[in-house]
Amino acid sequence: MRDFRFGVSMRASDSRAEWERSTRLVEELGYDMVLVPDHLGMVAPFPALVAAAGVTSRVGLGTFVLNAGLTRPALLARDAAAVDQLSDGRFELGLGAGYAPSDFEAIGIPFPDAAQRISHLERTVVEVRELLADPEHRPRPARSRVPIVIAGQGDRLLRVAARHADTVGLSGVVAGDDPTRRGTLAERIALLRSAAGERFAALEINLMILGVHIAGSGTPDLSFPRVFYPDYSDDELLAVPTVLHGTEEDIADAVRRFRDEYGVTYFTITSHDMTAFAKVLARLR
Protein backbone atom coordinates (compact mmCIF):
# COMPACT_ATOMS: atom_id res chain seq x y z
CA MET A 1 0.00 0.00 0.00
CA ARG A 2 1.28 3.45 -0.91
CA ASP A 3 1.99 6.04 1.75
CA PHE A 4 -0.48 8.89 2.04
CA ARG A 5 0.21 12.15 0.23
CA PHE A 6 -1.57 15.43 0.85
CA GLY A 7 -1.48 18.54 -1.31
CA VAL A 8 -2.97 22.01 -0.99
CA SER A 9 -4.67 23.74 -3.91
CA MET A 10 -3.71 27.41 -3.64
CA ARG A 11 -5.81 30.34 -4.78
CA ALA A 12 -4.98 33.84 -5.97
CA SER A 13 -2.87 36.09 -3.76
CA ASP A 14 -2.55 39.86 -3.73
CA SER A 15 1.20 40.16 -3.25
CA ARG A 16 4.48 38.27 -3.34
CA ALA A 17 4.72 38.43 0.44
CA GLU A 18 1.26 36.87 0.84
CA TRP A 19 2.07 34.12 -1.66
CA GLU A 20 5.36 33.30 0.03
CA ARG A 21 3.72 33.17 3.48
CA SER A 22 1.02 30.86 2.19
CA THR A 23 3.38 28.44 0.48
CA ARG A 24 5.74 28.32 3.46
CA LEU A 25 2.73 27.52 5.66
CA VAL A 26 1.85 24.54 3.46
CA GLU A 27 5.29 23.12 4.12
CA GLU A 28 5.24 23.97 7.82
CA LEU A 29 1.87 22.25 8.31
CA GLY A 30 3.31 19.02 6.94
CA TYR A 31 1.70 18.82 3.51
CA ASP A 32 3.50 17.19 0.60
CA MET A 33 2.50 19.37 -2.36
CA VAL A 34 1.84 23.01 -3.25
CA LEU A 35 -0.68 22.91 -6.10
CA VAL A 36 -1.94 25.68 -8.39
CA PRO A 37 -5.11 25.44 -10.53
CA ASP A 38 -5.40 27.00 -13.98
CA HIS A 39 -8.17 29.57 -14.38
CA LEU A 40 -8.10 33.16 -15.51
CA GLY A 41 -8.48 35.46 -12.53
CA MET A 42 -6.22 33.28 -10.39
CA VAL A 43 -2.47 33.25 -9.90
CA ALA A 44 -0.58 32.04 -13.03
CA PRO A 45 0.60 28.48 -12.33
CA PHE A 46 4.18 28.35 -13.59
CA PRO A 47 5.58 31.62 -12.18
CA ALA A 48 3.75 30.97 -8.91
CA LEU A 49 5.34 27.53 -8.59
CA VAL A 50 8.83 28.89 -9.30
CA ALA A 51 8.26 31.53 -6.61
CA ALA A 52 7.12 28.80 -4.20
CA ALA A 53 10.25 26.78 -4.97
CA GLY A 54 12.37 29.70 -3.82
CA VAL A 55 10.88 29.81 -0.31
CA THR A 56 10.38 26.08 0.35
CA SER A 57 12.74 23.13 0.43
CA ARG A 58 10.73 19.94 0.89
CA VAL A 59 7.28 20.16 -0.69
CA GLY A 60 6.60 19.11 -4.24
CA LEU A 61 5.12 21.62 -6.67
CA GLY A 62 2.41 20.93 -9.20
CA THR A 63 -0.30 22.20 -11.47
CA PHE A 64 -3.68 20.87 -10.36
CA VAL A 65 -4.71 20.93 -12.99
CA LEU A 66 -3.55 22.76 -16.08
CA ASN A 67 -6.10 23.21 -18.87
CA ALA A 68 -4.47 21.28 -21.71
CA GLY A 69 -6.81 22.89 -24.21
CA LEU A 70 -5.24 26.31 -23.70
CA THR A 71 -1.70 25.26 -24.56
CA ARG A 72 0.30 23.20 -27.04
CA PRO A 73 2.74 20.37 -26.31
CA ALA A 74 5.95 22.18 -27.27
CA LEU A 75 5.12 25.16 -25.08
CA LEU A 76 4.01 22.94 -22.23
CA ALA A 77 7.15 20.79 -22.39
CA ARG A 78 9.31 23.92 -22.28
CA ASP A 79 7.53 25.29 -19.21
CA ALA A 80 7.33 21.95 -17.40
CA ALA A 81 11.05 21.33 -17.95
CA ALA A 82 11.90 24.81 -16.73
CA VAL A 83 9.88 24.50 -13.51
CA ASP A 84 11.31 21.05 -12.80
CA GLN A 85 14.84 22.37 -13.39
CA LEU A 86 14.34 25.48 -11.27
CA SER A 87 12.80 23.49 -8.41
CA ASP A 88 15.53 20.81 -8.43
CA GLY A 89 13.15 18.08 -9.51
CA ARG A 90 10.10 18.85 -7.36
CA PHE A 91 7.59 19.48 -10.17
CA GLU A 92 4.56 17.35 -11.10
CA LEU A 93 2.55 18.20 -14.21
CA GLY A 94 -1.19 17.96 -13.57
CA LEU A 95 -3.44 18.13 -16.63
CA GLY A 96 -7.15 18.20 -17.35
CA ALA A 97 -9.22 18.53 -20.52
CA GLY A 98 -10.67 21.92 -19.52
CA TYR A 99 -14.30 22.29 -18.51
CA ALA A 100 -14.98 26.05 -18.27
CA PRO A 101 -16.13 27.66 -21.54
CA SER A 102 -15.37 31.10 -20.08
CA ASP A 103 -11.61 30.36 -20.00
CA PHE A 104 -11.58 29.48 -23.70
CA GLU A 105 -13.79 32.41 -24.65
CA ALA A 106 -11.68 34.90 -22.70
CA ILE A 107 -8.62 34.17 -24.85
CA GLY A 108 -10.53 33.87 -28.13
CA ILE A 109 -10.46 30.09 -28.56
CA PRO A 110 -13.70 28.27 -29.52
CA PHE A 111 -14.83 25.84 -26.82
CA PRO A 112 -14.39 22.32 -28.27
CA ASP A 113 -16.75 19.50 -27.47
CA ALA A 114 -15.77 16.93 -24.85
CA ALA A 115 -14.42 14.40 -27.33
CA GLN A 116 -12.19 17.02 -28.96
CA ARG A 117 -10.89 18.26 -25.60
CA ILE A 118 -10.04 14.76 -24.41
CA SER A 119 -8.36 13.84 -27.70
CA HIS A 120 -6.24 16.97 -27.43
CA LEU A 121 -5.37 16.09 -23.83
CA GLU A 122 -4.18 12.62 -24.86
CA ARG A 123 -2.08 13.97 -27.73
CA THR A 124 -0.60 16.54 -25.38
CA VAL A 125 0.42 13.96 -22.76
CA VAL A 126 2.03 11.69 -25.36
CA GLU A 127 3.97 14.50 -27.03
CA VAL A 128 5.09 16.12 -23.79
CA ARG A 129 6.39 12.77 -22.53
CA GLU A 130 8.35 12.31 -25.76
CA LEU A 131 9.80 15.83 -25.67
CA LEU A 132 10.88 15.63 -22.02
CA ALA A 133 12.48 12.21 -22.61
CA ASP A 134 14.53 13.56 -25.53
CA PRO A 135 18.07 14.30 -24.28
CA GLU A 136 18.34 17.05 -26.91
CA HIS A 137 15.32 18.95 -25.57
CA ARG A 138 16.04 22.33 -24.00
CA PRO A 139 15.52 23.31 -21.30
CA ARG A 140 16.30 20.00 -19.61
CA PRO A 141 14.17 18.98 -16.63
CA ALA A 142 15.98 17.87 -13.50
CA ARG A 143 14.54 14.37 -14.00
CA SER A 144 14.18 12.35 -17.17
CA ARG A 145 10.56 11.56 -16.28
CA VAL A 146 8.42 14.32 -14.81
CA PRO A 147 5.36 12.76 -13.09
CA ILE A 148 2.05 13.43 -14.86
CA VAL A 149 -1.31 13.72 -13.11
CA ILE A 150 -4.53 13.54 -15.15
CA ALA A 151 -7.72 14.56 -13.37
CA GLY A 152 -11.39 14.56 -14.31
CA GLN A 153 -14.58 12.55 -14.11
CA GLY A 154 -15.84 11.30 -17.47
CA ASP A 155 -15.41 7.71 -18.62
CA ARG A 156 -13.31 8.56 -21.66
CA LEU A 157 -11.02 10.88 -19.72
CA LEU A 158 -10.43 8.25 -17.04
CA ARG A 159 -9.54 5.71 -19.72
CA VAL A 160 -6.97 8.14 -21.10
CA ALA A 161 -5.63 8.64 -17.59
CA ALA A 162 -5.47 4.88 -17.05
CA ARG A 163 -3.27 4.55 -20.15
CA HIS A 164 -0.92 7.47 -19.58
CA ALA A 165 -0.92 9.00 -16.08
CA ASP A 166 1.25 8.35 -13.07
CA THR A 167 -1.55 9.72 -10.87
CA VAL A 168 -5.27 9.78 -11.64
CA GLY A 169 -7.38 12.46 -9.98
CA LEU A 170 -11.05 11.55 -9.50
CA SER A 171 -13.65 14.30 -9.33
CA GLY A 172 -17.42 14.53 -9.38
CA VAL A 173 -18.00 11.40 -7.28
CA VAL A 174 -21.44 10.91 -5.79
CA ALA A 175 -22.60 9.45 -2.50
CA GLY A 176 -22.89 5.72 -1.91
CA ASP A 177 -20.86 2.53 -2.17
CA ASP A 178 -22.83 0.81 -4.95
CA PRO A 179 -20.33 -0.21 -7.66
CA THR A 180 -23.19 -0.45 -10.18
CA ARG A 181 -24.31 3.17 -9.71
CA ARG A 182 -22.49 5.50 -12.08
CA GLY A 183 -20.34 8.08 -10.31
CA THR A 184 -19.85 6.41 -6.96
CA LEU A 185 -16.27 6.04 -5.86
CA ALA A 186 -16.59 2.26 -6.07
CA GLU A 187 -17.83 2.48 -9.67
CA ARG A 188 -15.13 4.95 -10.73
CA ILE A 189 -12.40 2.76 -9.24
CA ALA A 190 -13.85 -0.30 -11.01
CA LEU A 191 -13.81 1.56 -14.34
CA LEU A 192 -10.25 2.69 -13.76
CA ARG A 193 -9.14 -0.81 -12.78
CA SER A 194 -10.68 -2.27 -15.93
CA ALA A 195 -9.18 0.40 -18.19
CA ALA A 196 -5.71 0.25 -16.66
CA GLY A 197 -5.33 -3.53 -16.59
CA GLU A 198 -1.84 -4.43 -15.42
CA ARG A 199 -1.03 -0.72 -15.00
CA PHE A 200 -3.57 -0.32 -12.21
CA ALA A 201 -1.21 -1.43 -9.45
CA ALA A 202 1.25 1.28 -10.47
CA LEU A 203 -1.33 4.10 -10.48
CA GLU A 204 -1.61 6.58 -7.65
CA ILE A 205 -5.22 7.68 -7.10
CA ASN A 206 -6.15 11.16 -5.95
CA LEU A 207 -9.31 12.75 -4.58
CA MET A 208 -9.96 16.48 -4.48
CA ILE A 209 -11.52 17.25 -1.08
CA LEU A 210 -14.06 20.02 -1.56
CA GLY A 211 -14.80 20.78 2.07
CA VAL A 212 -13.58 19.98 5.59
CA HIS A 213 -15.65 20.66 8.71
CA ILE A 214 -14.34 19.75 12.14
CA ALA A 215 -17.14 19.05 14.63
CA GLY A 216 -17.63 21.92 17.05
CA SER A 217 -16.19 24.56 14.71
CA GLY A 218 -19.49 26.18 13.74
CA THR A 219 -21.76 25.77 10.73
CA PRO A 220 -20.17 23.91 7.78
CA ASP A 221 -19.12 26.17 4.90
CA LEU A 222 -20.53 24.39 1.84
CA SER A 223 -20.04 27.21 -0.65
CA PHE A 224 -17.18 25.54 -2.54
CA PRO A 225 -18.78 22.08 -2.81
CA ARG A 226 -21.96 23.76 -4.05
CA VAL A 227 -20.06 25.14 -7.06
CA PHE A 228 -19.71 21.54 -8.27
CA TYR A 229 -23.06 20.24 -7.00
CA PRO A 230 -25.33 23.30 -7.43
CA ASP A 231 -28.62 21.41 -7.09
CA TYR A 232 -27.73 19.55 -3.86
CA SER A 233 -29.23 20.32 -0.49
CA ASP A 234 -26.94 20.78 2.51
CA ASP A 235 -27.63 17.22 3.65
CA GLU A 236 -26.87 15.87 0.18
CA LEU A 237 -23.62 17.82 0.06
CA LEU A 238 -22.55 16.42 3.42
CA ALA A 239 -23.07 12.91 2.03
CA VAL A 240 -20.67 13.47 -0.90
CA PRO A 241 -17.45 11.52 -0.20
CA THR A 242 -15.27 14.54 -0.91
CA VAL A 243 -16.93 16.66 1.81
CA LEU A 244 -15.35 15.54 5.08
CA HIS A 245 -17.02 16.30 8.39
CA GLY A 246 -16.98 15.00 11.96
CA THR A 247 -14.39 14.86 14.70
CA GLU A 248 -10.73 14.84 13.77
CA GLU A 249 -10.64 11.09 14.33
CA ASP A 250 -13.84 10.57 12.30
CA ILE A 251 -12.25 12.33 9.34
CA ALA A 252 -8.97 10.45 9.78
CA ASP A 253 -10.96 7.19 9.75
CA ALA A 254 -12.72 8.26 6.55
CA VAL A 255 -9.38 8.94 4.87
CA ARG A 256 -8.07 5.54 6.01
CA ARG A 257 -11.20 3.93 4.57
CA PHE A 258 -10.56 5.58 1.20
CA ARG A 259 -7.13 3.95 1.20
CA ASP A 260 -8.14 0.55 2.55
CA GLU A 261 -11.28 0.04 0.44
CA TYR A 262 -10.49 1.96 -2.74
CA GLY A 263 -6.72 2.45 -2.89
CA VAL A 264 -6.98 6.26 -2.75
CA THR A 265 -3.82 7.56 -1.11
CA TYR A 266 -3.37 11.13 -2.40
CA PHE A 267 -5.71 13.90 -1.29
CA THR A 268 -5.92 17.52 -2.40
CA ILE A 269 -7.21 20.01 0.18
CA THR A 270 -8.19 23.60 -0.61
CA SER A 271 -6.13 26.39 0.94
CA HIS A 272 -9.33 27.47 2.75
CA ASP A 273 -9.33 24.17 4.64
CA MET A 274 -5.62 23.48 5.00
CA THR A 275 -5.28 24.69 8.60
CA ALA A 276 -8.32 22.73 9.78
CA PHE A 277 -7.24 19.57 7.98
CA ALA A 278 -3.71 19.84 9.39
CA LYS A 279 -5.17 18.60 12.69
CA VAL A 280 -6.32 15.47 10.87
CA LEU A 281 -3.05 15.19 8.98
CA ALA A 282 -1.18 14.83 12.25
CA ARG A 283 -3.25 11.70 13.02
CA LEU A 284 -2.41 10.08 9.67
CA ARG A 285 1.37 10.38 9.69
- For 226-243, what is each residue's pLDDT tens digit? 999 999 999 999 999 999
Q: Report the share of the chain in percent with pLDDT over 90.
A: 95
- Closest CA relative to residue 206, chosen from 58, 7, 42: 7
Contact call for residues 248 and 275 (beta carbons, < 8 A): no
DSSP for 88-144?
Answer: TS-EEEEEE----HHHHHHTT-----HHHHHHHHHHHHHHHHHHHH-TT-SSPPSSS
Mean pLDDT (whole number) for 123-149: 96
The average pLDDT across 10-30 equals 94
Residues, the chain = 285
Query: Quick one: DSSP state of residue 265?
Result: E
- How far is Cα 170 from Cα 229, in angstroms, rounded to an integer? 15
Residues 175-185: tens digit of each pLDDT: 999 999 999 99
Domains of the chain: 5-210+263-270 (3.20.20.30)
| pTM, entire model | 0.96
Burial class (CB in 10 A: 0-12, 13-18, 19+), 129: middle
Q: C-alpha dihedral over 254, 257, 258, 264, to 10 degrees? A: 130
- Inform me whether the pLDDT recorded for 158 exceeds 90: yes
43 in Cβ contact with 13 (< 8 Å): yes
Q: Residue 277: which residues within 8 A CB-CB, separation 6 or more?
A: 6, 209, 212, 244, 251, 269
d(CA 75, CA 45): 14
